[in-house]
Chain A
Amino acid sequence: MPEPLLACHDVAYTYRRGTPMAAEALRGVTLGVAAGELLGLIGPTGSGKSTLIQHFNGLLRPSRGRVVVAGQDLWAPRADRRAARRLVGLLFQFAESQLFEETVRRDVGYGPRALGLEADEVEARVDEALRQVGLDPARFGGRSPFALSGGEMRRVALAGVLAMRPQVLVLDEPTAGLDPRARAELLDHIRALHARGLTVVLVTHNMDEVALLARRVVVLHAGQVAADGAPRAVFAREDDLRAWGLGLPQAAALVRRLRSRGVRVGDALTFAEARRAILAAAREAPRGDR
């Protein structure tokens, strides 16, 4: 088994440690993400997802345990955390709150400029990143990032992360606020980046997205890993999912209800799978008159 690209060993994190307001957000998380994985990270509100992923690029320092990125213990003496930050691109939840430059172009180019890239290279990356998120650079580049709709702002923020060309993309609710088409486009795009070798960690409350994209699902609950496995295995644990405040992908819920109504139908996690399973069941239906 290859050394994982990202690894957390027994990571605990307490906000406002040592005060009466201390909040224990992570309670011993051990997790490895191998290069090239596409991992879905799910969990109820407040379970620690955003806290965990801020450990992946050294933004938070664990109260206990170790975080190892590309073989480097991020908090060892003389660790190069800036290297980890270049490797791991992190899109924050409500990333639109972090836009700050005067124009969309400057905002997306901020990271590449900070890397010390040539101006031409910066501009090329900005154009590419804006197109990747479905914003026409000519139409949006010169506008103020504050004078945009919510979904447009979120796309600008994502473009800023993509323009850094990280090897690992960690996305905290990237599709919240995107319209259905933009959401589908972004998911396609994540899939394409992954196919080109990027490692992706996707935090989302949308079980359908996880079913569609992830090869592995990790469930956080109360600051601990409650489940870790293939989507099929994790989504088979319906009662546990409900107890954790989560649920089934819609297609899986559909199949479940069909079975409870006596229809013999195969497994499905996505709508495409559900369609195939239902049509197969229809062909075999006892009194089907084909």
Chain B
Amino acid sequence: MGDALIEVRDLTYVYHPDTPQAVRALDGLSCSIRAGEFVGVVGGNGSGKSTFARHLNALLLPTAGEVRVGGLDTRDRAVTWEVRRRVGMVFQNPDNQLVAAVVEEDVAFGPENLGLPPAEIRRRVDEALEAVGLAELRRRAPHQLSGGQKQRVAIAGVLAMRPACIVLDEATTMLDPQGRAEVLATVEALNRRDGITVVLISHAMDDLVAADRVLALDAGRLVADGPPAEVFERVDATPGGRLDAPPVVRLARELRQAGLRLPPGLLTVEALADAIADALGGGAAHA
């Protein structure tokens, strides 16, 4: 595929191989992500999402199979740095990510490593802090921040790198509802406006309704890959699977079963409300 930014082929990853503690976290996973795509990743706890994410910027290297970023094979140590420049990652827990003593230094850390001129670094840091609403706390120490503030610093750090692809691993779990909406809007704008590829891992499927595609993982395998509406409709169909359809999708389903005529593909509260209003107003309710 010509414009694939990321190509994952038969990826298998085993933690602590050849020991009694061996864990096969990924098991023959293949997918490709095009430049400019917004891809959501869902899956139960332990299904392999973070392990997958860490392969996208060469933090982990395949036990078998391969991962290519912009054509570069991540196993080639000579390109590790280049891969990390292209793919920026926000971790699940900011405590694992925040390194500097002061917020703005933390955000500057990445751009400094890119060897950018100081004026450019300053500009990017300002912009990134502004984007996540942390400009006022720039002189604070990261460990003196609230949980949600720390997550914002971690996100700003990656924004300042301006990578071709941003991977967010449950990076908004500690944000308040509006903060989460703001960060998601920022990420979506980066995707739509600047063409930055986004890989967003989340347990909140409502975060992913704007995604072009959703990948669902289960026990290290890809069990679904398609547009959100399609994946969410059948994500709980797998027997023994750990995934549930989002509440809005489930409610729509229950209302249909009760006789309301609702179109398929209702993913948001707004869409569902409008469809119900149409169904009731049009006298479509029946038993």
Closest to B140 in A: A21
Tell me if A63 counts as interface (CB < 8 A to partner B).
no
Tell me if A78 counts as interface (CB < 8 A to partner B).
no
Rounded to whole Å, the gap between the CB of B133 and the closest CB of chain A is 9
A183–B173 Cα distance when bound, in Å, is 13
Q: Interface centre among B47, B178, B205, by most A CB within 10 Å?
A: B178
What are the residues of chain A within 8 A of B49 when measuring CB–CB? 149
Tell me if B44 counts as interface (CB < 8 A to partner A).
yes
Q: Is the CB of A96 within 8 A of B255?
A: no
Size class of the A contact interface (CB-based, 8 Å):
35 or more
What are the residues of chain B within 8 A of A180 when measuring CB–CB? 203, 205, 243-244
Q: Is the CB of A245 within 8 A of B170?
A: no
A143–B46 Cα distance when bound, in Å, is 14
- List CB contacts (< 8 Å) of A245-279 with chain B: 245-247, 250, 253-254, 257-258, 261-263, 271, 274-275, 278-279
What are the residues of chain A within 8 A of B44 when measuring CB–CB? 151, 179, 181-182
Q: Is the CB of A258 within 8 A of B276?
A: yes
Q: Is the CB of B251 within 8 A of A275?
A: yes
What are the residues of chain A within 8 A of B254 when measuring CB–CB? 275
Q: Is the CB of B247 within 8 A of A23?
A: no
Q: Is the CB of B255 within 8 A of A278?
A: yes
Rounded to whole Å, the gap between the CB of A206 and the closest CB of chain B is 8
What are the residues of chain A within 8 A of B15 when measuring CB–CB? 147
Q: Is the CB of A97 within 8 A of B280?
A: no
Binds B, one of A121-129, A170-178, A194-202, A229-237: A170-178
Rounded to whole Å, the gap between the CB of A87 and the closest CB of chain B is 25
Q: Is the CB of B173 within 8 A of A179?
A: no
Q: Mark A130-173, 1 if CB is under 8 A from B, else 0.
A: 00000000000001100111111001000000000000000011
The 4 residue pairs across chains A and B that have the minimum distance between CB atoms? A151-B45, A287-B283, A45-B148, A261-B277
A/B interface sample: 7 pairs, CB < 8 A? A21-B139, A45-B174, A147-B21, A183-B203, A184-B244, A258-B277, A282-B258
